Amino acid sequence: MKRIQIITITLLVQFLSGCSTYSAPQSGQIAYIKFEGPASYAYINQTSPKGKMCNSTPLVKRADYKNVAIPADGRLWIKHGFDSRGTMFGRYCGFNYSFVPESGATYISDYRNEGARCSLALKKQLPSGKLVDEASFEKGDGGCW
């Protein structure tokens, strides 16, 4: 019974806050991104978050972290990180960034927790499997996400 109450409250909070689930493109130019590391969230926004409501960015389902289809027709804004605020030892560390995906390419958003610090790198996976820094990567200003 308690589990049902928790699930109901979680769904209600998401509904009231405008939280939505990311929907992958079904047509057009497509690239892929993999979210790696101990992150607790990943958001994808197809328009600049500046001037937008904080709660309007779609959340990527954790089950999809290893292969998320993304549009490759312009700049994307991503938020990837860890948030355990609200727990006894709550902590937050996340990154806002953007990049321009290339059609057919695969990208790795590599989030790392290292003690009291965290880091993020965006890599492009070449056909050979080699990972290189993504040239169009731009770190965000920590705006309203």
pLDDT, tens digit (0-9, with 9 covering 90-100), for 6-63: 334 433 334 434 557 777 788 899 999 999 988 888 888 877 665 454 555 667 877 7
**CA–CA dist 40, 29 (Å, integer):** 28
Bigger pLDDT: 119 or 142? 119
Residue of 117, 111, 123, 116 lying closest to 38 (CA atoms): 111
pLDDT for residue 144 is more than 60: no
Cβ atoms 101, 31 nearer than 8 A:
yes
The residues pairing with 32 across neighbouring beta strands, listed in sequence order, are 69, 106
Query: What pTM was computed for the model?
Result: 0.76
Cα distance between the two ends of the chain:
33
pLDDT score, position 141: 55
pLDDT given at position 12 = 39
φ/ψ of 25, rounded to 5, equals -65, 145
Q: Distance from CA of residue 130 to its chain's centroid?
A: 22
CA atoms of 60 and 21, how far apart (whole Å): 6
Q: How far is CA 80 from CA 29, 54, 92, 110, in A?
A: 23, 15, 11, 9
For residues 64 and 33, give the distance between their C-alpha atoms in angstroms, rounded to a whole number.
10
Instruction: With beta carbons less than 8 A apart as the criterion, state whether 70 and 32 touch.
Output: yes
Residue 124 has pLDDT above 80, yes or no: yes
Q: Which residue has the tokens 């927790």?
A: 113
The full DSSP string for 26-44 is SSSSEEEEEEESS-SEEEE
